[in-house]
A and B are shown apart, each in its own frame.
Chain A
Amino acid sequence: MPSNVFTIKIAGPAGAGIKSSGLLLSNILVRHGFNIRDYVEYPSLVKGGHNTYQVSFSKDTIYTARYQVDLFLSLQPKHWQQHQSEFTDKTIIISEDAVTAVTLKDLSTPLGSRIYENTICLAIACYLFSFDLELCKKIVSNNFGAESPNNQAFQVGFDYAKEHFASQIISTETQVATDNGQTIHDGNESFGWGFIKAGGNFYSAYPMSPSSGTLHFLAAKQKEFGIQVIHPEDEIAAASLAAGASFAGARSAIGTSGGGFALMVESISLCGAADLGVVFYLVSRPGPATGLPTWTGQGDLLFTVNAGHGEFNKIVLAPGDQQETFVLGGVALNLAAKFNIPVIVLSDKFIAESSASLPDLANQKIDQVLSTKPIPGMPGKEYMANSYEHDEEGFAIEDAEPVKVSVEKRLARFEEIKKAIPAPLFYGSKTAKKLIVSWGSTKSSILEALSLMANKDDFAFIQLTSMWPLNPGLQSLITPFKDITVIENNAHAQMLSLIKSQFDFNPQKVLLKYDGRPFFPEELVKLLNE
């Protein structure tokens, strides 16, 4: 394993500030010029339990957080013990009950509260990686405010580490990196920026993990960007509001997870029937039913592709990481406006609640495609958006011939849609021995795994970005390969079924994971080499 990637993991009970200190750490890393990818695990509760935040960082390209940890910070005793499989013989474990023992309580008592222990741990990490103390202190101060006892806590932690852990410094190489202006964005925020930059101005959502981050992000920005952000009584209302707003000329989207999306399915059909362009941002977590609210999975693919009664046009796009969520969020709004249909952006918890260092999305641009449909307020163009089968003006029809014409019009439109969807992404050589086919968040695990493999040139990788319709060019990309591996974060190999339903596709190997966790790169290396 190349030594230019480092991984720090912080663990402790919910409420101890695991994620906030983790994000602060990532911020420090980014200001030191590192690329970062993080990953969080937490149960569905507010206090207690076992939360973790891990971040991998490197001066080189990095796609996702690694499994193996260089430094483990356990905010309370025992929280490191269940992670032994992530440790190497070089891993440093900072905990009251570990080899590198630190009694955090003794350090926090003079500060007046145990809530500062996460900052003390953070300072220990910064010392062990030889980060610039003054820069770290400035970031901590900017984060908490100049008067916050956290500033003192950071100094206490740093001084303690200097006194006790000087022999355990992990890397001094980290001193020399320089800030390259990147910003940390998680997938939910990335979708929010894509929505804003593509002219989105109406967002309705009923809170549901792991999609609520976008609701919170856009709600906080509604005044600055002139966006209506509504949290209505349920998901049915959220979808209906967005459909109504679309009719009135808004560029609208909703956000939800699988269970909420299930309630919106009738509205998706309405959008398909009544020509209403709405973007549905669906952040999957494992189902069925309430499932695993704070974990990840790709179990909603076929449901999404088939969502809605009757036959109508829709598009399902699947971003593979945070940057793609930004881009495809914008593409989705444009396609919804161009074709006046529902467009689903299918993400998952692994992308949505993990962060990446990216060029600041606030400064990026997305070209807007505007709808040409008349909107209320335009004189003389009155028409009806009708949930019934209807004619050009929107009036209901039931006679055989006009119904057939209307259905065939939608079919013809589907052919245009196929030409407008994004193409699959191809990585590696077209003459590689083996092909990996996957979609969505597994992209980052696959690329990181390949970066670890000496035989990486044996593999090409196709990442589907439009899950419906499937790109007609997919067949010619697949056909030359005889040794194909499918990788999916679900139990039913749903993408495999979907591709088989449209193309000649016979993979030799199917790698599935369905325990609420993403594939880790090291795990995939083993599986791919088996």
Chain B
Amino acid sequence: MTDTPTTTSTPKIDNIRSQIAPTWCPGCYDFIMYLGIENALKALDIPKEKVVIVYDIGCIGNMADFFKTYAVHALHGRSIPTAVGIKLANPELTVIVVGGDGGIYGEGMGHFIAWARSSVDISVFVSNNNLYSLTTGQTSPTTPKGSKTKSTPLGTSNEPIDPVPLAKTVNPSIDAVSVDGHNPIEVIAAFKSAILNKGFSLVDCRQNCVTFGKQLDS
């Protein structure tokens, strides 16, 4: 763990890790998001029982087993509306969505756009590696045009989306940032800022898939 931001208050979250060790590939940048969430929550002094994390399906969604907080490991693509339901039912909760580019920008694109237009106070953290990785490397909505993947061996034919400008198109005042997902300091700072923001926040963490990402260079 590097460069944990200092805080003057007593962190109420001393341990949100579960007994299960992360199963991501060695070197996977999802570890940075894992530590980022842990550090941000500790630094912000939020009572553990008031944190709810809603995980999408995908490599990053497997984080569900590596923390122990109130949580929902939701259906693929449906993490945002599930989180919105939680937040609307109890506005005192700190509600975080953790998903990938497949779940949030692919299967869940309609929900992403619909709730980016809202003022519902949830923070959406996206592991955006331009690929479906848990399913072993198929094209995602952020895959560069022409990329050869397992599902598009002839090259992808669609333009990739750019999530932050897209979100700002539907909600110009939205708190949406894209950060270098390989940089823990950037990731932690962005997560903290998103959780503090009173409204819908997006942190798009750009990263490479250490196992299937190479095909994007070919």
Contact surface of A with B, Cβ cutoff 8 Å: 201-202, 204, 228, 230, 232-234, 236-237, 240-250, 252, 266-267, 270, 274, 375-388, 393-396
Asked if B185 is at the interface (CB within 8 A of a chain A CB), the reply is no
Judging by beta carbons under 8 Å apart, are B73 and A204 in contact?
Answer: no
Q: A248-B93, A387-B75 are in contact. List 6 more A-B contacts (CB 8 A).
A: A234-B110, A244-B72, A244-B89, A249-B90, A266-B75, A386-B72
Q: Given contacts A233-B114, A376-B93, A387-B73, are A240 and B88 in contact (CB under 8 A)?
A: no
Q: How far is the CB of B154 from chain A (nearest CB, A)?
A: 31
Q: How far is the CB of A201 from chain B (nearest CB, A)?
A: 8
Chain A residues within an 8 Å CB radius of B114: 232-233, 237
For the A-B complex, the count of residue pairs with Cβ-Cβ distances under 8 Å equals 142
Judging by beta carbons under 8 Å apart, are A202 and B50 in contact?
Answer: no
Chain A residues within an 8 Å CB radius of B90: 248-250, 375-377
Judging by beta carbons under 8 Å apart, are A377 and B82 in contact?
Answer: no
In the complex, which of the residues B48, B74, B83 contacts A382, with contact meaning CB atoms closer than 8 Å?
A: B48
Asked if B167 is at the interface (CB within 8 A of a chain A CB), the reply is no
Number of interface residues of B (CB under 8 A): 37
A-B contact pairs, 5 of them (CB 8 A): A240-B75, A247-B70, A247-B82, A248-B90, A379-B48
Chain B residues within an 8 Å CB radius of A382: 48-49, 68-71
As a 0/1 sequence over residues 73 to 105 of chain B, the CB contacts with chain A under 8 angstroms (1 = contact) are: 111001001111111111011000000000000
Chain B residues within an 8 Å CB radius of A246: 85, 89
As a 0/1 sequence over residues 36 to 66 of chain B, the CB contacts with chain A under 8 angstroms (1 = contact) are: 0000000000011111101001000000110
State the 5 A-B residue pairs at the shortest beta-carbon distance, nearest first.
A244-B85, A240-B81, A233-B114, A241-B85, A248-B89
Q: How far is the CB of A355 from chain B (nearest CB, A)?
A: 32
Residue of A nearest to B52 (CB): A376
Residue of A nearest to B79 (CB): A240
Contact surface of B with A, Cβ cutoff 8 Å: 18, 20, 47-52, 54, 57, 64-65, 68-75, 78, 81-90, 92-93, 110-111, 113-114
Judging by beta carbons under 8 Å apart, are A202 and B70 in contact?
Answer: no
Residue of B nearest to A385 (CB): B72
Chain A residues within an 8 Å CB radius of B71: 382-385, 394
Chain B residues within an 8 Å CB radius of A230: 88
Q: Given contacts A232-B81, A240-B75, A267-B75, are A383 and B65 in contact (CB under 8 A)?
A: no
CA distance in complex: A111, B85 (Å): 51
CA distance in complex: A232, B70 (Å): 24
CA distance in complex: A240, B87 (Å): 12
CA distance in complex: A384, B51 (Å): 12
Judging by beta carbons under 8 Å apart, are A395 and B85 in contact?
Answer: no
Q: How far is the CB of A309 from chain B (nearest CB, A)?
A: 11
CA distance in complex: A195, B153 (Å): 52
CA distance in complex: A242, B83 (Å): 10
Judging by beta carbons under 8 Å apart, are A386 and B64 in contact?
Answer: yes
CA distance in complex: A137, B167 (Å): 56
Judging by beta carbons under 8 Å apart, are B92 and A384 in contact?
Answer: no
Residue of A nearest to B85 (CB): A244
Chain B residues within an 8 Å CB radius of A228: 88-89
Interface centre among B54, B70, B88 (most CB of A within 10 A): B70
Q: How far is the CB of A78 from chain B (nearest CB, A)?
A: 45
Residue of A nearest to B77 (CB): A236
Q: Given contacts A244-B89, A249-B90, are A270 and B49 in contact (CB under 8 A)?
A: no
Chain B residues within an 8 Å CB radius of A242: 85
Q: Given contacts A233-B110, A243-B82, A245-B86, are A379 and B47 in contact (CB under 8 A)?
A: yes
Q: How far is the CB of A439 from chain B (nearest CB, A)?
A: 31
Judging by beta carbons under 8 Å apart, are B18 and A248 in contact?
Answer: no
Residue of A nearest to B110 (CB): A233
Judging by beta carbons under 8 Å apart, are A247 and B49 in contact?
Answer: no
Chain B residues within an 8 Å CB radius of A395: 18, 20, 65
Q: Given contacts A237-B111, A240-B74, A240-B75, are A384 and B64 in contact (CB under 8 A)?
A: yes
Chain B residues within an 8 Å CB radius of A232: 81, 84, 114
Judging by beta carbons under 8 Å apart, are A378 and B49 in contact?
Answer: yes
Q: Given contacts A233-B111, A387-B73, are A376 and B86 in contact (CB under 8 A)?
A: yes
CA distance in complex: A382, B67 (Å): 10
CA distance in complex: A381, B71 (Å): 11
Chain B residues within an 8 Å CB radius of A388: 73
Chain A residues within an 8 Å CB radius of B93: 248, 376-377
Judging by beta carbons under 8 Å apart, are B49 and A202 in contact?
Answer: no
Chain B residues within an 8 Å CB radius of A396: 64-65, 73
Q: How far is the CB of A442 from chain B (nearest CB, A)?
A: 35
CA distance in complex: A242, B93 (Å): 16
Judging by beta carbons under 8 Å apart, are A376 and B50 in contact?
Answer: yes
Chain A residues within an 8 Å CB radius of B69: 382
